[in-house]
Amino acid sequence: METKRNMLDMQETRRASDVIAETLIEQIRRGEIALGAPLQTERDLCERFSASRPTVREALAQMQIRGYLDAGSGRRPRAAKPSLDSVLRNTGGLIREILGDAESGAHIEQMRQFIETGATREAAIRADNFQLTKLREALERNFEAIGTPDFAPTDIAFHRVLVSVVGNPVILTLHDMFVKTLLATRAPTDHPARYDRIAYDEHRAIYQAILDSDVIAATDVMDRHLARSYRARLKRPHVAPADPHSGPTTT
Per-domain residue ranges of the chain: 16-79, 87-234
Q: What is the mean pLDDT of residues 124-144?
A: 96
Neighbours of 24 (CB within 10 A): 26
Given this model, what pLDDT does residue 186 score? 61
pLDDT at residue 47 tops 90: yes
Rounded to whole angstroms, the Cα distance separating 31 from 77 reads 16
**Average pLDDT of the segment spanning 100-114:** 73
Taking CA atoms, 92 is separated from 21, 65, 85, 168, in Å, by: 20, 10, 10, 17
Q: Is the pLDDT of residue 217 over 90?
A: yes
- Confidence at residue 85, expressed as pLDDT on a 0 to 100 scale: 67
Q: Residue 249 pLDDT > 50, yes or no?
A: no
pLDDT score recorded for residue 145: 95
When mean pLDDT is compared over 11-15, 176-180, 224-228, the highest value belongs to 224-228
Q: Is the pLDDT of residue 46 over 50?
A: yes
Q: 4 or 194: which carries more pLDDT confidence? A: 194
- 86-104 tens-digit pLDDT: 666 666 556 656 555 666 6
Measure Cα distances from 34 to 126, 130, 175 in Å: 44, 42, 32
CATH of domain 16-79: 1.10.10.10
| CA–CA gap between residue 29 and residue 20 (Å, rounded) | 14
**What per-residue confidence (pLDDT) applies to 173?**
81
Query: At residue 34, does pLDDT exceed 60?
Result: yes
Lowest mean pLDDT among 27-36, 164-173, 216-225: 164-173
Q: Is the pLDDT of residue 203 over 90?
A: yes
The pTM of the full predicted model, rounded to 2 decimals, is 0.63
Which CATH number is 87-234 given?
Answer: 1.20.120.530
More confident residue, 208 or 168: 208
Q: Is the pLDDT of residue 4 over 60?
A: no
Q: Distance (Å, rounded) from C-alpha 29 to C-alpha 51?
A: 23
| pLDDT above 50 (res 129) | yes
